[in-house]
Amino acid sequence: PRENLKQNQQQQQQQHYQGNQYQNQGNDGGRYGNGGGNNGNNEYSRKRTHSPENNRSGGDVKLVVICSSGLNQDRLWRLFDIAPGMKYCNIVTQNDINTTASVVYACRDEAQRALDKIHGLEYPIGERIIVRYENEFRDEMQNCDILAPLGPPKPILGHQNAQCAKKAFFICMPEAISVKLLQDAFCRFGDLINVYLIPGKRHGYAAFASEVAADRAIQQLHGIQLGDCRLKVLECMEQNESKRKRPMDQS
């Protein structure tokens, strides 16, 4: 009978999943076992013990997840599978405080959808899940080490609370990095009003409420390496309005 044949095929698929590697077989039918959930052992065997290296392609996008230590790989898999296109989920480190995991999606749009849905979610209640792109997370970790000698981050004043006393002009080489990383660097000197990156360009300026803070930023951040970017920081040469005006002829 066809039903017996179908059941035999399902059992063969489920047995194939057991082991140390998760294998995706046609149309995602093998992914969920086509009814194999009746067997608790099979549910555990397809738990996310797959090898990331065997699933990578040029378009893959990895997210880094920091969450409660109470979340195991199976729960993380189910949580991030609410967004389509997830290829694998893998716990990287786990201790008594938190768990760090990596989740890979087939493209950036799908990864962004997962980030929008899950980042900041309290699961379990009282413990927020942090989700970041791998490259941003890596750059932030590197920047923490690089910027540590400059002192801890200080509050950003905002343009409504302070008047600009001096600006530091910067160029990102070879390409721009995120405003957040730039703010993290410039705020170390205090009195930072904000950082402004020209849209579509790799340059901008940091506005300071004091000349002392601006001068320190220019001196200590010029030539610093932030991730893949090297900063060129100079004094923002703005001519005074009086210098731009032609002197009036005296009669």
Q: What are 185-204's pLDDT values in tens digits?
A: 999 999 999 999 998 889 99
Domains of the chain: 2-45 (no CATH), 52-141 (3.30.70.330), 151-235 (3.30.70.330)
Q: In what order do the strands lie in the sheet with 166-173?
A: 192-197, 203-208, 166-173, 229-235, 225-226
What is the radius of gyration, based on Cα positions, of the chain? 26
Three-state SS at 188: helix
pLDDT above 90 coverage of the chain, percent? 36
List, in order, residues 6 or more apart from 1 with CB less than 8 Å away: none
Q: What is the mean pLDDT of residues 60-79?
A: 91
pLDDT band (50, 70, 90) for residue 249 = very low
Number of residues that make up the chain: 251
Residue 224 has pLDDT above 50, yes or no: yes
For the residues 218-239, what does the mean pLDDT come to?
85
Q: Using the predicted structure, report yes or no on whether residue 57 has a pLDDT greater than 60.
A: no
| CA-to-CA separations, 227 to 145, 146, 188, 230, 247, in angstroms, rounded | 11, 10, 17, 8, 48
pLDDT tens readout for residues 140-160: 666 677 888 888 889 999 877
Q: Counting runs of H as helices and runs of E as strands, what totals does the chain give?
A: 9, 9
Residues 46, 10: contact at Cβ < 8 Å? no
Q: 3-class SS at 8?
A: helix
Please write the tens of the pLDDT for every residue from 77-111. Answer: 999 998 888 999 999 988 887 888 999 999 999 99
